[in-house]
Structure 1
């Protein structure tokens, strides 16, 4: 009987230690969650402010890129030169089989139609050049 009671006591001690570790992890995750929520709140406020300011200036806000598109322009920023669909697949770490390259090519074409990318020659894509800022001629 003493042997069983010792086993139970050992198991209780192990579970107490595990529960303590879990409480510490929960406390850490709670802090991380609170920080993430504060950052999200600041970003939402910043976005709303930017949209309000753009509306005051009569500027249409750009349509946000759908999920799966955001990393494509980043690949071009890293490359600093024109890329083909297969190269983009390689940079993004996805397969280079025809189904992957055709999917990326379709995304590249859509981004080109939104003037985010340019297609200077068939199948070669680059970041679209931003329109040069014109000097303000109104010198008040």
Structure 2
């Protein structure tokens, strides 16, 4: 009988731990579903706004591009491909700098960066909307 009682106690403890894990996973699932719902709403809103302006919705940036843009924000000034490589800690061999330079050129094509002089890249300054002064 002692063995049965010991086994029952162990199984009760295991069941309790499993219930805790189920509760924790249920909470994580609810959070993930809420996030998915918010993202879907954001996506739909973005598509609606783009349609109102007869514009194409912006394409998301591929992996690695956010880090490049963050380097510009952190630096606060124009950068060259080699400087980006140094900031990102990826090495400054030609293969690295050329890979970064290609990303920078793609960001220029998307009007996210500007290249005011060859090899120097800066964030595009978003000009605030100028109010209509009403002069005709």
TM-score range for the pair, normalised by the shorter chain length: 0.7 to 0.9
Could you tell me the TM-score, scaled by structure 2's length? 0.75
- Please, which runs of 5 or more residues in structure 2 have no aligned partner? none
1:87 aligns with 2:83: yes
Q: Does 1:71 align with 2:63?
A: no
The match for 1:28 is: 24
The partner residue of 2:53 within 53, 57, 65 is 57
Partner of residue 127 from structure 1, selected from 120, 123, 127: 123
Pairing partner for 1:98 from 91, 94, 112 = 94
Unaligned 5+ runs, structure 1: 1-8
> TM-score, with normalisation over the residues of structure 1?
0.73
Q: Per the alignment, do residues 61 and 14 of structure 1 end up closer, same or farther by CA in structure 2, a change over 3 Å counting? A: same
Residues 26 and 92 of structure 1, relative CA distance in 2, 3 Å threshold: farther
RMSD (Å), alpha carbons:
3.1
Aligned residue among 105, 110, 117 for 2:113? 117
Quote how far apart the aligned CAs of 1:20 are. Answer: 4.8
